[in-house]
Amino acid sequence: MKYKIFNTIAFRLTLWFSGIFAVCTSFVFLLFYYLATQTIQNQIDLELTDNASKFSAIIHTNGLMGARQLAILEAQAAGEKLIFFRILYPTGEVFASSRMSYWKDVQVSKTALQKLRSLDLNIFETIEVPSTGQKVRVLYSYVAANAILQTGVAMDVYSKFLSAFQLVFISAMGFIVLFSAVSGWLLVRGALSGVETITKTAQNITGSNLETRVQGTGNKDELDHLAITFNSMLDRIEELVRSIREMSDNIAHDLKSPVTRIRGFAELALVHEETLEDYRVMAANTIEESDRLLDMINTMLTISRAEAGEADFTLKTVNLSGMIREACDLFTPLAEDKHISFSNIIENEIFVFADIRMLQRAFSNLIDNAIKYTLEGGTITIIASMENQTALIKIKDTGIGILPEFHEKIFERFYRIDSSRTSSGTGLGLSLARTIVRQHKGDIHVSSYQNKGSVFEIRLPINNPMVI
Ligand code: ADP
């Protein structure tokens, strides 16, 4: 799937990255800017106050005429375009001043004088000279009981410094945003490249190609973990697909034989002229084969439904001991026919909450297998007991046994060990038995040695009202 760059996580994270950098840098700049302006202003104010003190001292010693002299001299010394002095009467009338040709547009502020009179504190103002655009810091201060000093300093140098500061900031900001965007993009792309690999691997996977695996980073980070999880998911899918394939092969194989036989009977009936009795036998064989087929299909359906939780189980409290005894009675003649010693040790009064019909099917399959896979003269023992709220049923035989590698496989649908293909069967018996037992929250296991015999062990919790 192609996606727009604006929708990518990498793009969004980069945007966040640069945004956060820009905001932080602006904050730091504003803080610096504020501190710088405050410091500069404090410095100027201090300078102006110093001047006012000087004037105050001169007036004290030399009177107002001395102050007039000082105004001219101080302004000349510092630069007449840099500083000016005006000595005013408290009414605001100018008594004396430095040369004011450059500063002629600077008026005496009535509000400042008013404030000065009422507050009796130094009054500072920052004004802009309309004709020159020059910023000036002005101080109004009482330098004698009847004299006010209006003195101003050009803020040119400081304004230039602040403009330079702004320029430096804007360039630095541009660089930082660009740098954070590029580095953010590279970092995020690098970090997310693992996701891209997983996506590509997933895209390349088809039904016939499930072997591809994602290369882990080996860093034990989140992406490595994702890759490992993704790979183990693929392992499970591969295993599932393999077992589905195997199962469908088995189904095809097992359904083919009865259908072929049915076809054979029909062909015989068509080609040969037989007696009525022969036709009857053929019809009976056809019905038998069809029943086998139907039985297989029904068992398959039962297993599927039970596994999907849709099986039609009717749960009641049932006497398991009685049910097992009945099943044993049912199979005794079959065992006797094969000269197998068939016995049971069944504890009385084992009650479970279960679907008796389904449990009967499960036990029948297990006893049937025991008889089927035990040679003449062998022994089969059925043991049922109680153990910690669990009914324990063992079906022991001294039959052909099962190699360890098949202990799990025999519970798969349609799985039959090759060596037992000569005996009749569908490969569904154990699968159905396990599904039924599991639906009752129990489980079934086998322990077996080849040529020594097998023990199938069922554990059923007796108190399982939440089953199915
Ligand atoms: P089947 O119809 O072939 O008996 P099951 O699902 O009942 O199908 O059993 C699966 C396979 O497990 C059998 O084909 C057989 O190879 C093996 N098996 C089951 N029970 C026994 C047993 N008691 N002794 C030896 N092998 C057994």
Bridge partner residues of 206 (DSSP): 209
pLDDT value, residue 3: 59
Domain 5-161 belongs in CATH node 3.30.450.20: yes
Q: How far is the CA of 402 from the centre of ligand 1 (A)?
A: 9
Q: Which of 251, 373, 413 should be mutated for ligand 1, with most atoms under 8 A from CB?
A: 373
Residue 363 to residues 54, 320, 356, 440, Cα–Cα distance (Å)? 117, 11, 10, 14
Distances (CA, A) of 83 to 15, 77, 88, 143, 468: 50, 10, 16, 17, 97
Which of the four CATH numbers 3.30.565.10, 3.30.70.270, 2.60.120.650, 3.80.30.20 does domain 316-461 have? 3.30.565.10
Write down the CATH number for the domain with range 222-307.
1.10.287.130
Strand, coil or helix: what is 346?
Answer: strand
Q: From CA 197, how far away is CA 90, in angstroms rounded?
A: 84
Q: Look-up: residue for tokens 């099917």?
A: 361
SS3 343: strand
For the chain, give every domain's residue range.
5-161, 222-307, 316-461
With a 6 A CB cut-off, is 369 part of the ligand 1 pocket?
A: yes
Q: Which of 334, 394, 420 to mutate to test the pocket of ligand 1 (most atoms within 8 A of CB)?
A: 420
Give how far the C-alpha of residue 227 lies from the chain's centroid of Cα atoms, to the nearest Å.
13
Tell whether the torsion through CA atoms of 15, 17, 20 and 24 is positive or negative.
negative
- 410 CB less than 6 Å from ligand 1? yes
Per-residue pLDDT of the chain (468 residues; tens, 9 = 90+): 555 777 788 888 888 888 888 898 889 889 988 998 899 889 999 999 999 999 999 988 988 888 888 888 988 888 888 899 999 988 889 888 998 888 888 889 889 988 888 887 899 999 988 888 888 999 999 998 888 999 999 988 787 888 888 898 889 888 888 888 898 888 888 878 778 877 887 787 776 677 888 777 777 788 888 888 888 998 888 888 887 887 788 778 778 888 888 898 888 888 877 788 888 888 898 898 899 889 888 888 888 888 777 777 888 899 999 999 999 999 999 999 999 999 999 999 899 999 999 999 999 999 999 999 999 999 999 999 998 889 999 999 999 999 999 999 999 888 888 877 777 788 889 999 999 999 898 999 999 998 899 999 999 998 765 444
Note whether 14 and 184 are within 8 A (CB). yes
Q: What is the pLDDT of residue 468?
A: 43
- What pLDDT, on a 0 to 100 scale, did the predictor assign at position 466? 47
Token digits of residue 211? 């072997």
Looking at the CA of residue 421, tell me the nearest atom of ligand 1: 14
The reply to whether domains 5-161 and 316-461 share a CATH topology is no
- Whole-model pTM over 0.85: no
CA 320 / ligand 1 centre spacing (Å): 24
The gap from C-alpha 229 to its chain's centroid, in whole angstroms, comes to 12
Among 397, 292, 288, smallest CA distance to 335 is for 397
